[in-house]
Structure 1
């Protein structure tokens, strides 16, 4: 979702997922739509969160410094903000979530 110049993304993260990838869009049991992601990093000492932020930055084609974790540091459900994300970043992220 767009918040001013930023993109805010709700992500369900699977740490130790065997690979670093965005796995498309999922719907939670409460009806919320989230991006599904997995990373190889374990969920300890913030390693999985760091890997997620790098994954989102690469998928959107923005510098890693533009991507921050807004909420969910210790939860599987995370809120990620991409600051000053333009239309190209939004399109690239959408394509990455759509899959091949």
Structure 2
């Protein structure tokens, strides 16, 4: 499944949940330097969906806070729960 995520780097702790302009909000403690925040966000999404990191692929947005990712094994029900719906 393809989902849009909104990354907030430099957070106090890593968390996945909530919604920002229709995108899944992903807070990561890593700073936005050398792709560290992106990698941390992909790992956090994998953990939230209960899949391996290799099951989450960045589609677009490598240098943007808004990214599109492909989650192999994600479900609409779990996405709805994470978005708070």
Scaled by the length of structure 1, the TM-score of the pair is: 0.75
> Are residue 67 (structure 1) and residue 66 (structure 2) matched?
no
Listed as ranges, the gaps of 5+ residues in structure 2 are none
The structure 2 residue matched to 1:40, chosen from 13, 19, 29, is 29
Larger radius of gyration: 1
Report the counterpart of residue 9 of structure 1 in structure 2.
3
Does structure 2 retain, via aligned residues, the 8 Å contact 1:20–1:38? yes
RMSD, aligned CA: 1.6
Q: Please, which of 49, 52, 56 is the counterpart of residue 41 of structure 2?
A: 52
Q: With the length of structure 2 as denominator, give the TM-score of the two structures.
A: 0.87
* SS of residue matched to 2:69: strand
Question: Number of matched residues?
Answer: 84
Q: Distance in 2 between matches of 1:17 and 1:69?
A: 21
Q: Give structure 1 stretches of 5+ with no counterpart.
A: 1-6, 28-32
The Cα of 1:19 is off from its aligned counterpart by 1.0
